[in-house]
Amino acid sequence: MPRDPVCGMVVDAEKAIKRRIGDRTYYFCSETCARTYDQPERELKAMRRRVALALAGVLSVAVLRVAAMIGLAVAIMTLKMAGISAWDLALFILSTPVVWVAGWGIHHGAYKALRNRSINMDVLITTGVIAGWGYGAISTFLPSLGSEGSAYLEIAIAVLAFVLLGKFIEETIRRRSAAAIRKLLELQPTVARVLRGEEEVEIPIDEVQVDDVIIVKPGEKIPTDGLVIAGYSSVDEKIITGESIPVEKGIGSEVIGGTINKTGLLKVKATRVGEETTLMQMARLVEEAQASNAPVQRFADRVVGYFVPAVFVTAAIAFTYWFLAEGFTKAFLVLLSVLLIACPCALGIATPAAILAGVGKGAEFGILLRGGEYVENARKLTTVIFDKTGTLTRGEPSVTDIKPFEGYGEEDILILAAISEKGSEHPLAEAVMKAASRANLKIPDAESFEVIPGHGVRASYKNMEILFGNRRLMNVNDVKIPDHVEEELMLFEEQGKTTMILAVDGKVIGIIAAMDMPKESAKEAIKELETMGLEIVMLTGDNEITAKAIAKQLGINTVIANVLPHQKTDVIKKFQSEGRVVAMVGDGVNDAPALAQADIGIAIGSGTDIAKETGGIVLIKDDLRDVVRGILLSKATMRKIIQNLFWAFIYNTISIPVAAVGLLSPIIAAGAMAISSLFVVSNSATLKLLKL
C-alpha cells in the first residue's frame, strides 16, 4: 500500500487523496498533507499573512498610542459618538479581523478539541483571547456595563500576534522537514528504460518489477536498487553516502536508485522496487524519527494532560479571589494572565524541535537517528559491543606476510602463488591476486590448473609442478614441511592469520599469510569511544585466536568469541541484566536480532540494506568513526531535549503563581509565553552548530 510522503502513514489507495505532481501520482491521508507536499510554501504564505495581519494590528495600536502621547490624537482619545469612545471604536475595528481572521486557525483547533471532549493548548489561547476581545467589545458598545474596553482589545491583539508568531516559526521548521523528505523522494527518476525481449521500453518507475533488466546510459540516474549484470562504469553515490568520489561498478556490483551513472552503459537487474528501495527506506526512517518522542517527552505529554485542566481550576480560583477583593476588572485581568502564560507550547515542542534538529544534523554525515527512544538511551550508554567480521574488519582476507625460502624472493613467491590461483574464485585466491595487482606484477596463465576442495590448488607452469594450500595438501602429496617452516607457520597462526604453503616440485619454497584486516577507521573510533568512558567489547563467531589478534591491534580488552548469531542476543541480555546500557554495532544482516535486543542498535555500512535494519541508528557510510559521531549526536540531542523540558517546566512553575497573585499583565504574560517557545526552538537549532 502507498505511504503518505509527508506524515509517513500507510494509506488506502482507493480512499486516499490523490495528487498528480510532475510525472508521478502521490497518495495522502489528508488535504493538509497534500497541500504541504504539493505546495509546501503555500500554507506557510497563508500563515505568514495571518501573522502579518496580527502584527499590523499591534503596530497600528502602537502608532496610535505614540500619536496620543505627543498630542496628535487627543481629539480621537476624547471624541465620543453616540456615547461610544472613538478610541475604543478604532481599537474594536482593528482587533476584530485580527481575532477572527488571523486567529481562526487557533479557534478552529480549540473547537475540534472540545468536540472531542479534550482540552489542549488551543483551548487555553482561544479562551483567553475571546474573553478579552468579548469583554472589550461589550465595554466599547455598552460603556455602562464595563470600562477600559480598549485595554482588553489591545490585549487580544497582542496575545494573538505573539502566539501566531511562535506557531509560524514552529510550522516553518516542520514544513522544511517535509520539503526535505520530498527532495529525497524526488531523487528517484520517474521513468525507467527496461528490456522487454530485445526491445528497450520506457515505463513509469512504479511499474518496474523485481528482476526487470534496466538500461542506464551515462549521465542518467539509476531508477531503482539493483545488481549490475553487464557493463562497467563509475557511479556518483554522494546523495547516499556523502562521498564525493564516484564508485567503480562492474558485473556483480550493487547500485542504489537515485545515484548517477557517470561514464559507461550499465545493465542493471532490479532487486528492490517501490517501498523497498534505499531512498524510500531512508525517507521512512527520517519520517519516523521526526514523528517520534523520547520516553521523557511522553512523560511530559502526560503531565500536560493534567496540567491544562489544573490551569483552568487555578484561573477560576484566582478570578474568584480577585473579584471578591478588588472587583471584576482586576479579576478578569488576572484570569487572562493565568490562561495566557500557562499555555504549555514550549512543553509541546521541546522534544520534536530537538529531534528535528538532531535528525537534520545527522543527515549531513549520513547518520540516520531513528527516534527519541534511542536518543534517550545514548545518554545512559555504558557499553559498546562490536561485531568483528565486516564491522571492525573489512570482511575479506588480505595478504599480510610473504615468507620466502630456498633462495627465492618475495616477488617470486607471489608470482608463483598468483599463477596457481589465477583460475580460482576462493576468497584467499582473490587476496593473492589483489596483492599481485598492487605490486604491478604481470601474471601469466598456468598450463594446467586443478582445485582440490578443502586443500588448495595444483598447477603446472614451465615444467614446474606448483602446490599451493594448507598442510593437508602437502601431506597428501608427500611434501615434507621443514622444522623452520613449521615454526614460521605456527608464529603466523598464533597471530590469527591464515597460512598458505607454496611448494614447487615437492619442495616448500614459501609461505603467504592472509588475514581479515581491521578497517582503517576502527582503531581511531575505538580510542575515541574509550575516551568517552565507554567499555568496548568484541563479539564474534570467529575463533578465539583470530579474534584476540584483531582485538590486540585495535586495543580492545574484552573479547567474546565462538558465538553463533542467535547466541549474540543472550550475551547482550546478560550485559543488560547487570545494569549496563548496551549499544550493539553490526553490519545489519546477520546481526539483526542483536541490534534489536540492544538498547541502541547501530547498523553500519548499510547503504543498500536499510530495509533490513533493526538498529536505532543507521550509518550509511562504512566508517566506524560515524559510530562515535552518532553517539555524540544522540547525547547532544538528548541534552537539548532535557534543557527544553527543564526550561518549559520551570517557566510554567514560576510564572503561573506570579500571574495568579496579580503581578503580570495579560500582554506581558502573552509575550513571555511566546518567548518561552522561541527559546525552545532557538536552543534546539544550536545543534546545527555542533562539530562532529
pLDDT digits (tens, 9 = 90+) for 633-656: 989 988 898 888 888 778 877 888
Quick check: is 443 in a domain? Answer: yes
Mean confidence (pLDDT) of the chain: 80
Handedness of CA 528, 530, 532, 535 (dihedral sign): positive
Under the banding of pLDDT at 50, 70 and 90, the label for residue 527 is very high
pLDDT above 70 covers a percentage of the chain that reads 77
pLDDT digits (tens, 9 = 90+) for 203-228: 888 888 999 999 999 889 999 999 99
Taking every pair of C-alpha atoms in the chain, what is the biggest distance, in angstroms? Answer: 124
Write the DSSP assignment of 145-173 as a string of letters. G-S-HHHHHHHHHHHHHHHHHHHHHHHHH
- In this prediction the pTM is 0.65
Write the DSSP assignment of 93-123 as a string of letters. HHHHHIIIIITHHHHHHHHHHHHTT---HHH
Quick check: is 107 in a domain? Answer: no
Quick check: is 653 in a domain? Answer: no
Quick check: is 166 in a domain? Answer: no
Q: Which range is most confident: 47-56, 256-265, 476-485, 660-669?
A: 476-485
- What pLDDT shows up at residue 479? 92
- What pLDDT shows up at residue 123? 80
pLDDT digits (tens, 9 = 90+) for 100-127: 988 888 888 888 888 888 776 778 778 8
**Predicted confidence (pLDDT) at residue 607 exceeds the cutoff of 50:** no
As a whole number, mean pLDDT of residues 448-475 equals: 89
CATH number where 463 lies: 3.40.1110.10
Handedness of CA 19, 281, 186, 227 (dihedral sign): negative
- What pLDDT shows up at residue 608? 45
One-letter amino acid at 84 equals I
One-letter amino acid at 469 equals G
Distance CA 199, CA 193 (A): 10
Helical ranges in 365-470 per DSSP H: 372-379, 410-421, 427-438
Among candidate residues 472, 502, 517, the one where a domain is terminated: 517
Q: Per residue in 608-623, is it b (16+ CB within 10 Å) or e — as a string?
A: bbbbbbbbbbbbbbbb
Tell me if residue 409 falls in helix, strand or coil: coil
Among candidate residues 466, 487, 517, the one where a domain is terminated: 517
Quick check: is 490 in a domain? Answer: yes
Domain of residue 458: give its range.
Answer: 394-517
Q: Nearest CA to 186 among 362, 356, 40?
A: 40
Q: Would you say how long the chain is, in residues?
A: 692
Within 13 Å, how many C-alpha atoms sit on residue 620's CB side? 24
User: How many domains are contained in the chain?
Assistant: 2
Quick check: is 362 in a domain? Answer: no
Quick check: is 224 in a domain? Answer: yes
Q: Check: CB of residue 209 under 8 Å from CB of residue 259.
A: no
Quick check: is 226 in a domain? Answer: yes
pLDDT digits (tens, 9 = 90+) for 44-98: 777 788 888 888 887 887 777 666 656 555 555 455 555 566 777 778 888 889 8
**Predicted confidence (pLDDT) at residue 458 exceeds the cutoff of 70:** yes
Helices and strands in the chain: count of H runs, count of E runs:
23, 26
pLDDT above 90 covers a percentage of the chain that reads 23
Among candidate residues 517, 546, 564, the one where a domain is terminated: 517
Active site residue 4: no
Under the banding of pLDDT at 50, 70 and 90, the label for residue 399 is very high
The catalytic position among 4, 122, 225, 387 is 387
CA angle 651–654–655, rounded 5-degree value? 75
Under the banding of pLDDT at 50, 70 and 90, the label for residue 371 is low
Tell me if residue 566 falls in helix, strand or coil: helix
CATH number where 234 lies: 2.70.150.10
- What pLDDT shows up at residue 324? 92
**Predicted confidence (pLDDT) at residue 297 exceeds the cutoff of 80:** no
Q: Nearest CA to 471 among 483, 480, 458?
A: 480
